[in-house]
A = this chain, B = another copy of it.
Amino acid sequence: MSNRVAIIGVGMCKFGELWDQNLKDFTLEAGMYAIFDAGVPGSDIDGMVIGNMSAGRFTNQEHLGALAVDMGGLGDIPAYSVEAACASGGAAVRQAYMAIKSGEHNVMLVLGSEKMSDVNQTEAMNTISVASDWEWEGMFGATFPALYAFMARRHMYEYGTTEEHLALPTVKNHANAAHNPWAQFQSPVPIDVVMKSGMLADPLRVLHSAPVTDGAAGLVMCSEELAKKYTDTPVFIEASDQRSDTLALHDRKSITTMNAVVSSTKGALMEANLELKDIDVFELHDSFSIGEIILTEDVGIAKKGEGGKALEEGITEIGGKFPVNTSGGLKARGHPVGATGVAQIVELALQLRGDAEKRQVDGAEKALAVNIGGTGATSIVHVLRR
* Interface residue ranges, A against B (CB under 8 Å): 22, 24, 52-57, 59-67, 69-70, 75-85, 87-88, 91, 94-95, 97-105, 126-127, 129-135, 138-139, 240-248, 251, 259-260, 263, 373-374, 377-378, 380
Contact = CB atoms under 8 A, between A and B. Distances in A.
Contact of A56 (B105, B127, B246, B374): B127
23 contacts: A24-B135, A55-B130, A56-B57, A60-B130, A62-B130, A63-B374, A65-B83, A65-B84, A65-B378, A66-B84, A66-B245, A66-B377, A67-B377, A70-B244, A70-B377, A76-B245, A78-B244, A79-B244, A80-B242, A82-B82, A83-B83, A98-B99, A102-B102
B63 A54 contact: no
Name the 5 nearest CB pairs between A and B, nearest first. A78-B242, A101-B102, A66-B377, A102-B102, A98-B102
B244 A134 contact: no
B83 A62 contact: yes
Contacts of A241: 78
Contacts of A22: 135
A130 to B, nearest CB: 5
A138 B61 CA distance: 9
A4 to B, nearest CB: 12
B84 A138 contact: no
A57 B59 CA distance: 12
B63 A84 contact: yes
A76 B378 contact: no
Given A70-B251, A79-B378, A263-B76, A134 B60 contact: yes
B59 A56 contact: no
- At the interface, is chain A mostly helix, strand, loop or mixed? mixed
Contacts of A129: 60
A302 to B, nearest CB: 23
A243 B77 contact: yes
Contacts of A65: 83-84, 244, 378
A332 B56 CA distance: 27
A80 B77 contact: no
Given A63-B374, A82-B82, A134-B61, A70 B246 contact: yes
Contact of A57 (B57, B99, B134): B57
A83 B84 contact: no
A259 B66 CA distance: 13
A43 to B, nearest CB: 14
A20 to B, nearest CB: 15
Contact of A63 (B104, B251, B260, B373): B373
B374 A66 contact: yes
Contacts of A101: 101-104
Nearest to A53: B62
Contacts of A98: 95, 98-99, 102, 104-105
A69 B139 CA distance: 21
A69 B102 contact: no
Contacts of A59: 134
Contacts of A61: 130, 134-135
A127 B138 CA distance: 21
Contact of A378 (B53, B80, B102, B130): B80
